[in-house]
Structure formats: structure tokens, C-alpha cells
A and B are shown apart, each in its own frame.
Chain A
């Protein structure tokens, strides 16, 4: 239950920031949304078994599902890559570089 609420809180915060003006805030909102999705993924593996999935370190029946963790691990790094890119965009935008969409031609 707390996981669901946590996802809700993170999504709410993320959506709020994304809808605010300024690319830095949008980026921070994006980070929060990333957290929300990662928590959702791990939650989908079930939260009743919470031992680390390290073979030979205990009872396999108590170990958490490793597959969502693998997803989330790469997702975190990709989110980071995109965060860095968005931050760089925000910096470039501040310096007047044209990063926004082009004007519609018609």
C-alpha cells in the first residue's frame, strides 16, 4: 500500500514540475517521474519477499524478484543520461541557443 502511495506522490510531484515553466523544473519533474516508474516496476515483482537476490546468501524463497530489478537498474542509468541531456539543453537555452521547435512554416 505504501508503495502505491509513494508512486502517486512522485507522479503528482513530477507532473506538477513538468507543467511549470522553465526547463530545469521540467527536468526535475522528469527525474521524479523516473523514480515513480522504477518503484512501480519493483513493486510489480511483489514486496512480500525482500531478501537481496544473491545466490547462496539465503533462502531463495525469500528473495525478491530479480527481473524487475534488472530493468530498473538500466532504467536508472538511462534516466540519468536523459537528465544530463535535458540539463545541458536548459543551459544552452539560457544562453540563447535555439533548442526549441522551429516555427510552423504555414
Chain B
């Protein structure tokens, strides 16, 4: 439970960060740092359980249907990463106040940094793969925003980082799906325990490959390394926290975690060792040729991550323990270096390593701290970087992937470390030796303190590395419970790794002493092209998307629709061929059906051939009437009633619109008519055969039988169709009426057309007719609504009748009560949606599922027992929504006439 409280506290800190920043300005960082420390202290109460191998945690069902749970688990490995996130986080937060400008708004930066801390914290605590994925993606997104906060120059790097890490996130998602399908669980503990089952499955290589891909993108391995140096446009706290100490370690965490499954597998080992060492060497070379300290540190991070990946690839318990220790050590000295570079940049106005010279005489404290961290990076005794590097060497020398692999990997690791030594010593040299170039002053102690704490910790933890032993041993045991993890100590005798350290320092010294010719040689190397390659691939993809989408981006609707129509016809034809069996045409046809079909065919041909707009409207209405009759014959009085009303309204609204349009449709060429005709004939043929083939059933459907049987006993309504709409499938109806609300909103948002036209006032016939009809129609609407549950009618039909009254009013030129559409229609729409939702929520409040109908019976003296169902209220909501749409439509399309006619009357 403490683990959960810690995660909640981190979220609370993130929410509080902007508020704190508004109150305290840049000093908010101190409060947040204290918060981080408090969370760490809270977690440390679980320390004994963690070290004893009884990981504390919580687990609640989250998506029970998928077996996904909200599980947090604090084992040794998670503890070690939590320590990094919280301790380095606290240092960075304490560093921010003096780094950020005194004025200015820092709420956003503090929020993003703290939220990132929380996400990273969740990532390492997650005991379920889906939860891990959520936090993983959150860190990518927050990283994007933090890089982008650098302004215009951060735009491209932020995009690159997001796309690369986002692609890795997709790979992780695929891996999670494959794992869930193989193991049947997303619980990490269960998955890791099912090692043999995973390895025996045919998708094991895919799982391993996808996990590697995810880790490589996040941890900046070749060829995805380029985003990390680009991310250095962000402010120094971001670089130190995300892009040196924590987020880029997420990939390391993932690989370490899944070493339980894959450690020792040849493919896994070869890919990790190969890529890791190439990254380590390339990163080190690129770091050595950089003069910008921040870029140097970025490439150095790439290089060190490569070493870590390679060590994890070796997979022995010694190598894994070394990787875990080095992750810790690296976070410590790299964050220190970043903080100090930020300080030097502020004080000296430059980050050029060549200008960093003779610092000892003008900024003794800064110089000492920089020198210490630089030596730790270089791997010089007795700093922590020395211990972790020695143990890495020990791990590499013990590689057993192929014969002689220990020698090869050991030699390459030594080469990369020699380069690292060389630029580490350059930093040290700049701090302590050389001529003083500038008159500089020591920064305030508050600015230096966080870096000082980290630098001193890195120094003390070298000799005192045994303090870390219990945690690192526990973490290693969590990964490979079947092994006996090693003990670390500063001095462990004259061993192979000591010799390797000696060689490293020797080569490194030579490289350092010959730095002028080395520099010249390195500058002649081609510059890295990763960003350019990525950008050109990105551009090519966007161009490809343009090419694919081009046929659909044109004004002609026909060209736009022709291909989907052809596709549907082809699909239908293919379906019929595959279906094979000839259609069963036992469907009973009455004589009336043939008459209806003949009328239908004639009127459809009429609509298609009509050139006069008004004739087309009339013939479209005729088609609608014939279809209405068809529904009546098929036994659907409700459907027929609704369609009839809709046809009347469609004709009215079409009339409104057509007033302003040309009387005749645009002329079509013979070619267009022919092409459209052929397509139409084929589509019609496909539709007819498809219908015949698929609808030959004679027996009633099980669902239909159920509704016929259960409607009256369960709902009290006799109109089965209406009970389906408002009682059984209320959620569907709610969704469908929401579409109507959306259509109404769309109408309201269409640009208005201001025009004046000569309107006819209410004529001698229509004027009195309106006064007579409108109240009658209103009563009819209410009647249809109230009887809907038992007889044909209901909210849809009743609202359509009400809409006819409105439309009629507009048609005869009466300045109806419709008024301006925006103000008049909105209450109906919102009341309808709110009423429908409230009915559903009320049922939930009473403990039933959403939209459960509630029925109550009252005794009203003259009528006896009267049943009242909440579905009536729901139907009222439907009524209001449909009515709202009609008010909108009439107000929008018919309203102008009435206004215009008033204008002309003056």
C-alpha cells in the first residue's frame, strides 16, 4: 500500500507543481525536491521486505475482461531504479531554482519535470505489462514536451525524439500483445515465471526482437542514437534528468527485466553485445571529437548506454550485476557533469571544452567537483566509476556466447573505455590545468550544492561500494534467481580486469597526450548523418502519404466516390463467388409486392433522369411513399409512419434549399452519364444478388423471438419496436440520437448566408390554414408520443410531426417562434441529451446498469392504477433531440425567408 501512496504522492506533486511555481516562482524546485526526498523516505520503510525478497506491492483488477490488473511491485530492481528517479530527481529539482531565470513563468517546466518523475517511477514499479506500457509512453510524451519547450530550435529534435521513441512504444505494445497471447497473462511476475513456455513458443524470437527494438529506441542505440544529442537543445535540468540519468535508462531497465527470459540465448546475446559495443565505440569517438561540452556529454551517454546494453547481452550474473551497478554510477556522475556544465555555461558564457581551462584558480570548488565527476566518468580509482567499470570488464571477460567471445568483447570494451578515459581526462584537465583564460567567479553555494552532493556521493561510494552490495545483489537475484550474484569491492586483487583497466588508462593517456593530432584526425571524419537520414525518411513518408491520398483530394464528388463504389462492387462479386451456393428464393411475395416494385422502379428512374430540381424532389417523395407502402406490407407500421413523416419533412426542407438554387440540375456529358450508368447497373446487380443470397431465411431470429415474447411482461409496453428503442437497447438509441445532435451542431456551424429576397407573405389560403393546422398538429404530436409504448408512434414519430408544424409555419412565411436558430434550438438539443443521460445515470445511482428502465405504478383516482416508466422520460429526451434538429434545420434553411419577407414588407 505504501508503494501506491508513493505513486499517488508523485502525481500530487506534479499537480501541485504549477501552483507552487505561481506562488514561489523558481524556488518551487526546493519544495518539490523535498517532496521527492519524502517519497524516498516513505519507500525506505519497505526496505527490509525488499531486501528479504518479499516485494511489497498492490494489485487491483483494472480490465478484468482482458486479465489486466493495476499492479505495482517494489522488488530489488525496481527499488534501485526508484532510488535513481527520486534521488537524482531531488538533486535536479534543487538545482533548478538557481538555474532558471529569477523572473518568468516556470510552472510548465516544473509540472513536466515532476510529472516525468512520476511516470518514470510508475514505469519501474509497474507489475503489469499494460501498466508498464502506459508509463513508458507517458515518459516519451513528456520528453517530447520538455524538448519542445526549448522553442523553435527544439521543434525538429522534439519531433525526432517522439517519433523514434514512439515507434519503440509500438514495438513494445506488439511485444506485450504477443506475450499476453503466449502466456495468457500480462502480470510481469507470471510472465517471467513462464520462461520455458515463452522460449518454447514460435513467437519467442519476435517477442525478444520487439523488446530489443523498444529498448534500443529509448536507450539511443545505433541506429536510433541520433535523437539523444538532438535532445540537448532542452534546458540543462532536462538533459541531466531525462536524457542522462533516468528516461534513457528505461530501455536498460526493460532489457534487464526481461533478461530473466532471454539471458544466455544466442540471438539475444549477439544482438545486444554487437549493437551495444558498436554504439559504445561510435558514441565514444563522437564524444571525443566534440568541443561543445553538452554535446560531448550526450554522445558519452550514448556510448555508456551501449556498454550497458552489451553487458546485459552477456547475460551472466556477473555482467548483469555490473550493468546494474554501472547504471547507478553513470546516473550519478553524468547528472553531476550536466549540472556543472550548466553552471559553467552560466558563469563563463560558453560550453566549449577548449575554453574550459585553468578553472582551478578562479572557480576552485566548481573545478574540484567537475574534476571528480570527470575522473569517475574516466573510470579512475577510487571513484565509483572505477568500481563499476572494473566490474563491467569482469563481466565482458566472462562472456560465453561463442568461443573466444570473452576476449573479443573485453577488447572492444577496453577500446571504448580508453576513448571514454581520454575525454574524461580532458574534462579533468580543463578543470585543474592549463592557463586561466577568463576572470570568473564561483557561483552561489545554493547553485553548486546539488552537484556537490552528487559529486561527493560518487567519490565516497567508490571506497564504500559495499554499501550498495545488498541492493545490487537483490536486484540481480530478481533477474536471475538461480544464480549467485557477486560482491563488489574497491580492491579485489590483481585480476584480469585490473589489467584491462591498466590497458585502458594507458591507451587513454596516449590519446589524451596526443590530443592535437587526434583532434585533427577526428575532425576529418564524416559528420554523423543520423538526423539527416531520419529526416529524409520522414519526408519521404509524408510524400508517400500525399501520393496515396491525392486521388481523394479533389472537388468532384463523382471522382471521389467512383473508386469506393467500384471497390464495393468488386467486393460483392468476390463474396458471391466465394459464397458459391445459389440464392434460396423462397421468400413469399404477394401480388401487392409486384405492384410496389413496378411503382418503385418507375419513380427511381424518374428521379435519376429528372433535370428539373423540383421534379426530382417530387419524384424522390414518390419513391419515399412507395417505400413507406413496402414497409407497411412488410409488417412495420412504426417504420412506415416514421418514414412517411421524414419524407414530408425532407420535401419541405429540400424546397427551402432549392428556392435559392438553379431550377435545373447542372448538365452532364454523355460520357459521365454512361460511366455513371454502368457503375450504377453493376452496383445494383451486386446489391440485388447479394440481398437475394443472404436474406433467404424463413425462420424468425432468436433475438426477434425473444423481444416478441419478453417485451410486454418486462416493460409493460405492447409496441415491441418501441420497447426495443427505449427499454432494451436504450444505449443504442442514445448513441443514434447523439448523431442527430451532432448534425444539428454541424448545421449551426455552417457559415450563414445573408441575403434579402422578395418573399410572399402569408397568402389568403395558407395563412388561415396555418392558424388552423399548427395547434392540431401539436395535439397530434403529443398523442403520438404518449401512445408510443403500446401503439405505433413514439418519440421519433411524434417529434417529426411537431417539426412539420414548425416547417409549415416557415413555409407560409410566418415569422414563427423559431427565431434565431442558435438560441432556439440549443435548449432542445441539450435538454434532450441531458434528459436521456440523466435517465440512464439515475438507474445507475439505484444500482442497475446504465439506462435500466424503472417502472412505478401510481393510483390516480379517476383512472385507477397508472404505470409510469422511466423509458417515457427517455423517449421524451429522444423527442427533444429530434425536435431540436428540426428547429435547427428549419431555422437555418427556412428562417431566412421569413426575416427577408419582413424586410421587404417595410
Contact = CB atoms under 8 A, between A and B. Distances in A.
Given A8-B688, A47-B588, A55 B718 contact: yes
* The 5 nearest A-B residue pairs measured at CB: A8-B688, A12-B684, A64-B635, A65-B704, A16-B680
B565 A28 contact: no
17 contacts: A16-B680, A17-B608, A18-B557, A19-B676, A20-B672, A45-B700, A46-B701, A52-B636, A52-B638, A56-B718, A67-B703, A72-B631, A73-B796, A77-B740, A91-B661, A91-B893, A103-B553
B103 interface: no
B479 interface: no
A14 B893 CA distance: 24
Nearest to B751: A97
Residue from A18, A56, A100 whose CB has the most chain B CB atoms within 10 Å: A18
Given A6-B630, A15-B683, A60 B725 contact: no
Interface of B: 543, 546, 549-550, 553-558, 561-562, 565, 583, 585, 587-589, 593-594, 596-597, 600-601, 604-605, 607-608, 613, 616, 620, 623-624, 627, 630-631, 633-639, 642-643, 646, 649-650, 653-654, 657-658, 660-662, 665-666, 668, 672-673, 675-677, 679-681, 683-689, 691-692, 694-695, 697-701, 703-704, 707-709, 711-712, 717-721, 724-725, 729, 732-733, 736-737, 739-740, 743-744, 746-747, 750-751, 753, 755, 790-792, 796, 800, 882, 885, 889, 892-893
Contact of B892 (A4, A54, A80, A88): A88
Contact of A84 (B607, B725, B743): B743
Contacts of A1: 585, 587, 589, 692
Contacts of A40: 687, 691, 695
Contact of B720 (A14, A46, A53, A78): A53
Interface string A4-26: 11111111111111111111111
A87 B747 CA distance: 10
Contact of A95 (B637, B753, B885): B753
Given A43-B695, A84-B889, A104-B549, 20 more contacts: A11-B684, A12-B687, A13-B680, A15-B683, A16-B608, A19-B672, A19-B675, A19-B679, A22-B665, A28-B616, A31-B623, A40-B691, A47-B634, A50-B635, A53-B708, A53-B719, A66-B708, A73-B725, A90-B661, A92-B753
A72 B636 CA distance: 10
Contact of B687 (A36, A48, A94): A36
Interface of A: prevailing SS? helix
Contacts of B660: 91, 94-95
B683 A26 contact: no
A26 to B, nearest CB: 5
B636 A64 contact: yes
Given A42-B634, A56-B712, A11 B553 contact: no
Contact of B624 (A7, A35, A39, A77): A35
A78 B683 contact: no
Contacts of B694: 44
Contact of A101 (B555, B608, B737): B555
A76 B642 contact: yes
A77 B639 contact: no
B636 A69 contact: yes
Contact of A66 (B620, B692, B707): B707
Contacts of A81: 739-740, 743-744, 885
